[in-house]
Structure 1
Amino acid sequence: VLKRTGRATEARAVLQRMFDDAARTGTIAPLQEERRFLGELMGDSRIEGFVSAAGPARRIMKRLSETGIKGRTIEQESGLSRREVRILLMICEGASNKFIAGRLGISESTVKFHLTNLYRKLGCTRRREAIAVARARNWLH
């Protein structure tokens, strides 16, 4: 929205903070679910240059490019809801149910509910199987 309204400086600053937060927490799940918007933003060479100037942001950009910023989203390919994709990405990064609940502002019971739906849609019964399915389908590396 900031970029589209001509406020590119603010857009770069917000994007830089997002990448810094991702580098600090070691997670790309929040960025991954917004990859359609990131692809559009990173298509602007000035924004990409600004964001990639910091080392931590470069590492996050590398991880995102390995999973593909552009192209179809995981939601489109999988039939999973946005929340299920976010939880899948978080469990792939080793997050516990408690951590996921705290990060998303939901209860652990709700996390378990989403995991159950996720497992059903992927045809598996455990985290490791869900992670293996996600890797096999090239949703993450």
Structure 2
Amino acid sequence: MQRLTISLSDELAQAFDEWMTRRGYSSRSEAVRDMLRRELGEDNLASEQGGPCVAVLSYVFDHHERQLSARLTGLQHDHHDLAVATMHAHISHEDCIETVILRGDSGEVESFARSVIAETGVRHGQVQLIPVKPSASTGLGYRKKSGR
């Protein structure tokens, strides 16, 4: 492990300490490590390299919208390799919320999420991509070497 030293203005240091407290961090080091992991992971996913990820797609939709529930279910079935699980809840007489856990290549996951959010009747859609390391056990980003 390497030790890094940074200089911050008094105002920025105070704002950082307050942010840490609100987020429940007891250590500046752990807070900085988490911030760096998040930024570097997002940067990697945004680059052309993409890479394996897991994601949470959440959206609110009007279940009275003509055939919307069937279209959303159809999209998930068409991308069963990406959609791991779905939770559905009724939040009012008209509105439902769904949360879909996704897993796969970040480009494919993001494309699928955008297609769901773009459906007529879907509102407040958001996707959060989380980079993961390639893994033989999950198959994410893992390419079996040819040969022996």
TM-score class normalised by the smaller sequence: under 0.3
TM-score normalized with structure 1 length: 0.27
Higher RCO, 1 vs 2 (CA within 8 Å, ≥6 residues apart): 2
Which of the two has higher C-alpha Rg?
2
1 or 2, which has the higher strand percentage? 2
1 or 2, which has the higher helix percentage? 1
TM-score normalized with structure 2 length: 0.27
